[in-house]
């Protein structure tokens, strides 16, 4: 099963993707992770990525599609979670064509819907474990008093992103909605768009996503 997770910064896509990786054996394809991995891989495609990044240029859609093609051809998995791609209609078309070329399909596009003000409040209280990336929140999931991460069990430095402030977040949300609104219509027209409440408890969101996947598979 191949799915896309859509949602603004801080909606919890990474957290939910990890649950799907651990619980269903799926593979998360994050554009940023793939680029970093390729840059250090020493492969022909990796050298292309390294050269582009060294020049400070933007990585083209063709390069990202090439990296995704390598993953589709090279990994045996229960399905892929596309995180951070596509972001434009052109990318959506390219991904659809690639999946068809590889004999694959896109089974669901899940939008994690949020209330913007509540999201800003959540993110400005957010910290992450410097070891494993586990997310904490000052109000709902405080950093353990002993400084030991509850996920990796290590003594950790807990970090806040410099741009996790109200003004930066509002700009990032505006940019997200400008780019993503057309995608919502695109996948809705294809009958693939499903929506879940992204502001529920982690377990509630996890259950809602599971319900979508189980209904799609049946």
Cα end-to-end distance, the chain, whole Å: 12
pLDDT of residue 218: 78
CA–chain centroid gap for 18, Å, is 10
Residue 187 pLDDT > 90, yes or no?
yes
Q: What are the catalytic residues?
A: 13, 87, 126, 161, 172
Whole-model pTM: value is 0.79
Most confident of 137-141, 158-162, 195-199: 195-199
Q: What value, to the nearest 5°, has the Cα angle with vertex 119 and ends 173 and 180?
A: 30
pLDDT of residue 168: 85
Residue 158 pLDDT > 90, yes or no?
yes
Q: How far apart are CA 29 and CA 188, in angstroms?
A: 22
Q: How far apart are CA 201 and CA 214, in angstroms?
A: 20
Q: How far apart are CA 25 and CA 31, in angstroms?
A: 19
Please write the tens of the pLDDT for every residue from 75-107: 778 899 998 889 889 999 999 999 999 999 999
Burial class (CB in 10 A: 0-12, 13-18, 19+), 8: buried
Bridge partner residues of 94 (DSSP): none
- From the list 218, 183, 205, 196, the residue with the least C-alpha distance to 92 is 183
Q: Which residues have a Cβ under 8 Å from the Cβ of 175 and sit 6 or more positions away?
A: none
pLDDT of residue 144: 94
pLDDT of residue 83: 86
CA–chain centroid gap for 132, Å, is 16
Please write the tens of the pLDDT for every residue from 102-131: 999 999 999 999 888 888 888 888 899 999
Is 128 within 8 Å of 143 (Cβ atoms)?
no
Question: With bands split at pLDDT 50, 70 and 90, how would you rate the model's confidence at 8?
Answer: confident
Average pLDDT across the chain, whole number: 90
Counting Cα atoms < 13 Å in the Cβ hemisphere of 66 gives 14
pLDDT of residue 159: 92
Share of residues in the chain with pLDDT > 70 (%) = 100
Question: With bands split at pLDDT 50, 70 and 90, how would you rate the model's confidence at 45?
Answer: confident
């Amino acid at each position: 099963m191949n799915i896309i997770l859509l949602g603004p910064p801080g909606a919890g896509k990474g957290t939910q993707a990890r649950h799907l990786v651990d619980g269903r054996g799926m593979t998360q394809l994050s554009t940023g992770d793939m680029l970093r991995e390729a840059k250090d891989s020493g492969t022909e495609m990796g050298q292309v990525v390294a050269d582009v990044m060294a020049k400070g240029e933007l990585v083209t859609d063709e390069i990202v599609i090439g990296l995704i093609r390598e993953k589709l051809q090279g990994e045996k998995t229960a399905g892929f979670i596309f995180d951070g791609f596509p972001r434009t209609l052109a990318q959506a078309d390219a991904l659809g064509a690639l999946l068809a070329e590889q004999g694959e399909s896109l089974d669901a596009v899940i939008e994690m819907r949020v209330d913007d003000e509540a999201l800003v409040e959540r993110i400005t209280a957010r910290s992450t474990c410097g070891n494993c990336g586990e997310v904490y929140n000052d109000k709902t999931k405080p950093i353990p008093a002993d400084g030991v991460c509850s996920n990796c069990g290590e003594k950790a430095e807990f970090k806040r992103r410099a741009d996790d402030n109200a003004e930066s977040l509002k700009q990032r949300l505006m940019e997200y909605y400008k780019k993503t609104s057309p995608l919502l219509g695109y996948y809705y027209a294809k009958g693939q768009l499903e929506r879940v409440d992204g502001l529920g408890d982690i377990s509630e969101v996890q259950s809602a996503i599971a319900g979508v996947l189980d209904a799609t598979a049946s």
